[in-house]
């Protein structure tokens, strides 16, 4: 029987725990806790691809870059995305590799800094909504960025002014063949970090752009491209709920695409929270996928074995 493949999408916020500053030591320890149950899948014989968020980490890099702008050149967003893919990928791969060596597994682990193609005419570029980087006290101090670099700036709930960028839909994963080849050779892969580095095709050449691709949509696309058996979304709750945080809240064990559509139309899933996870799940299933699981990091292994989590099927 051939091995099953699982794409496991880990949230960037789970790599910086509440109440912590997000030092690299703290993040490393969080990685240890987060991938513990993913490693159990490897013990079960799964081929595993780990994807991850990077929102807090990119935010930190942009804040550091702005603070040091009079000393060293600032860092563009696409480069910041590449930095976090490398840094977080290094931590995740090292934690897994150390575990495998300890348990005498002769398995390789690889981090792929991944570029994801987006459409330069995606409507999202005309309506950027994703806040990034530091807060600024005065809009005037951003005039130079607005005029010369085309920044879009909004006032953010009385906390100051902040840059916003587009969140375009992912169309293709440039390194998909490399990732697939590695998986077929039983290499554990970390890829599509932070949704991947958004690039556009500019007259036949790829070019990085300042944007944020939703990690779950990019992970769904990757899971489709490599024909994964499972697409697992790790989040802050053990199960998806309708009427969330209300007296009549109901946890969902299993639902299909039609039920997902119904719950979305009834407004059960928050736009910046569960909705993109449900939509990414539906996309995977509509493109031929068979199994989606949404659950918390510590429940991943139990969820794959049918003991918990929300299971979404075609």
Domain count, the chain: 2
Residue 123 lies in a domain: no
Q: Are residues 177 and 161 in the same domain?
A: no
Q: Are residues 210 and 258 in the same domain?
A: yes
- Are 193 and 181 a contacting pair, CB within 8 Å? no
Q: Are residues 82 and 146 in the same domain?
A: no
Helices (H), the chain: 24-43, 55-67, 77-102, 143-149, 176-184, 215-225, 257-265, 274-286, 300-304
Residue 122 lies in a domain: no
Q: Are residues 112 and 154 in the same domain?
A: no
The pLDDT profile of the chain, 314 residues, written as one tens digit per residue, is 468 999 999 987 778 877 888 899 999 998 998 888 899 999 999 999 999 999 889 999 999 999 999 999 999 999 999 999 999 999 999 999 999 999 898 899 999 999 999 999 999 999 999 999 999 998 888 998 899 889 999 998 778 999 999 999 999 999 999 999 999 999 999 999 999 999 999 999 999 999 999 999 999 999 999 999 999 999 989 999 999 989 999 999 999 999 999 999 999 998 888 999 999 999 999 999 999 999 998 999 999 999 999 999 99
Q: Are residues 196 and 217 in the same domain?
A: yes
Is 215 in the active site? yes
Residue 155 lies in a domain: yes
Q: Are residues 109 and 201 in the same domain?
A: yes
Residue 200 lies in a domain: yes
Is 227 in the active site? no
Q: Nearest 5°: phi and psi at 176?
A: -60, -40
Active-site option among 180, 215, 283, 299: 215
Residue range of the domain that includes 210: 5-117+172-313
Residue 225 sits in a domain whose CATH number is 3.40.1160.10
- Are 188 and 99 a contacting pair, CB within 8 Å? no
Active-site option among 130, 145, 169, 239: 130
Q: Are residues 150 and 243 in the same domain?
A: no
Is 254 in the active site? no
Is 307 in the active site? no
């Amino acid at each position: 029987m051939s091995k099953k493949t699982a794409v496991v999408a880990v949230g960037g916020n789970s790599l910086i725990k509440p109440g912590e500053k997000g030092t690299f030591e703290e993040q490393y320890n969080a990685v240890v806790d987060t991938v513990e149950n993913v490693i159990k899948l490897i013990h079960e014989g799964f081929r595993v691809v780990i994807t991850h968020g990077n929102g807090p980490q990119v935010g930190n890099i942009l804040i550091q870059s702005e603070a040091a702008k009079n000393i060293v050149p600032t860092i563009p967003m696409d480069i910041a995305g590449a930095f976090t893919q490398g840094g977080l990928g290094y931590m995740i791969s090292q934690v897994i590799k150390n575990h495998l060596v300890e348990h005498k597994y002769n398995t390789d682990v690889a981090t792929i800094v991944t570029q994801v193609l987006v459409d330069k005419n995606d409507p999202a570029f005309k309506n950027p909504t994703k806040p990034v980087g530091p807060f600024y006290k005065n809009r005037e101090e951003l005039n130079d960025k607005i005029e010369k670099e085309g920044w879009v700036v909004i006032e953010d709930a009385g906390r100051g002014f902040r840059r916003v960028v587009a969140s375009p839909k992912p169309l293709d994963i440039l390194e998909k063949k490399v990732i697939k080849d590695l998986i077929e050779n039983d290499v554990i892969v970390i890829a599509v970090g932070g949704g991947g580095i958004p690039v556009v095709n500019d007259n036949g050449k790829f070019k990085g752009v300042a944007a944020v691709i939703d990690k779950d949509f990019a992970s769904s696309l990757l899971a489709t491209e490599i024909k994964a058996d499972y697409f697992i979304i790790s989040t802050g709750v053990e199960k998806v709920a309708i009427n969330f945080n209300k007296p009549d809240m109901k946890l969902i064990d299993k639902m299909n695409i039609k039920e997902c559509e119904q719950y979305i139309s009834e407004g059960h899933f928050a736009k910046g929270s569960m909705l993109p996870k449900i939509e990414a799940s539906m996309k995977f299933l509509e493109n031929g996928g068979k199994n989606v699981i949404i659950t918390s990091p510590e429940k991943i292994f139990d969820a794959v074995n049918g003991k918990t989590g929300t299971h979404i099927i075609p």
